[in-house]
């Protein structure tokens, strides 16, 4: 973890440059943020551009630090091209899930690389489920797969109860994107990590069951 490859540097630089442009130019920010009404009017660019905008420096820093820690795992075990596919695909799936859950909320808007970053995080966990994660507020390491499952279960809770000013659905969609794209790009995982594939699918299946039951 923490390996800084050229492709990671380029993505982080793009996030910083575009986010800081948005910090100082509200019309730019408003034009490219995720906005349900805008997307429904045909402004599909918002589905992608919103992933490079952030609310403030803290929001930007948190996402870029998370990306920094996990991008190297995906790039090393797959490739830079596959990493880009996972990053971009997770961003779009996160936006699609947000659009699906908020399609009747014309004024709903969101920004941030969280969907893409969560996709990279989930891809890294799928590729190396045995790695330990260290959190600032927990004094002992957490197995990556436990963190991944717990994070998505919390995201379901956050989506259901609308906790905080956080796009939990984009996070969840990003994780689905990272999970699915990684399995398509690395089908050998079905032979080596089948149990982990099943465990990490639990929150995803749960979300769709709850949605089907009308509880989301």
The pLDDT tens digits of the residues spanning 143-183 come to 888 888 887 888 778 777 765 556 778 888 999 999 999 99
Confidence band of 133 (pLDDT split at 50, 70, 90): confident
Give which of 21, 12, 10, 87 is closest to 48, Cα–Cα. Answer: 87
Instruction: List the single range of 51-65, 79-93, 123-137 with lowest mean pLDDT.
Output: 123-137
CATH number for the domain harbouring residue 154 = 1.20.1540.10
pLDDT value at position 69? 86
- Per the document, the length of the chain is 216
Indicate whether 77 belongs to any domain.
Answer: yes
Give which of 114, 126, 106 is closest to 187, Cα–Cα. Answer: 126
Task: Check if the beta carbon of residue 142 is closer than 8 Å to that of residue 133.
Answer: yes
pLDDT value at position 147? 81
Indicate whether 183 belongs to any domain.
Answer: yes
Which residues make Cβ contacts (< 8 Å) with residue 171, sequence separation at least 6? Answer: 94, 114, 115, 118, 151, 155
Q: For the chain, how many structural domains are there in total?
A: 1
pLDDT value at position 214? 72
Domain housing 138: 6-212
Indicate whether 1 belongs to any domain.
Answer: no
Q: Pairing between strand 34-35 and 109-110?
A: antiparallel
The HSE-up count of residue 20 (CA atoms within 13 Å, CB side) is 6
């Amino acid at each position: 973890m923490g390996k800084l490859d050229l492709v990671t540097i380029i993505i982080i630089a793009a996030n910083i440059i575009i986010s800081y442009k948005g910090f100082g130019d509200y019309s730019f920010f408003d034009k490219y943020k995720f906005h349900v009404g805008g997307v429904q009017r045909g402004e599909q660019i918002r589905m992608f551009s919103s992933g490079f905008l952030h609310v403030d420096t803290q929001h930007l820093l948190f996402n870029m630090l998370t990306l920094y820690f996990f991008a190297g795992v995906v790039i090393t075990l797959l490739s830079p091209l596959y990493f880009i596919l996972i990053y971009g695909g997770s961003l779009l799936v996160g936006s699609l899930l947000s659009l699906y859950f908020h399609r009747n909320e014309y004024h709903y808007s969101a920004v941030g690389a969280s969907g893409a970053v969560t996709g990279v995080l989930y891809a890294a966990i799928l590729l190396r489920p045995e790695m330990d994660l260290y959190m600032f507020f927990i004094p002992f390491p957490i197995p990556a797969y436990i963190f991944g499952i717990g994070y998505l279960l919390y995201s379901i809770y956050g989506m259901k109860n609308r906790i905080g000013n956080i796009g939990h659905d984009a996070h969840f969609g990003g994780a689905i994107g990272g999970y699915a794209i990684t399995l398509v790009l690395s089908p050998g995982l079905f032979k080596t990590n089948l149990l982990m594939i099943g465990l990490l699918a639990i929150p995803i299946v749960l979300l769709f069951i709850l949605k089907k039951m009308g509880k989301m």
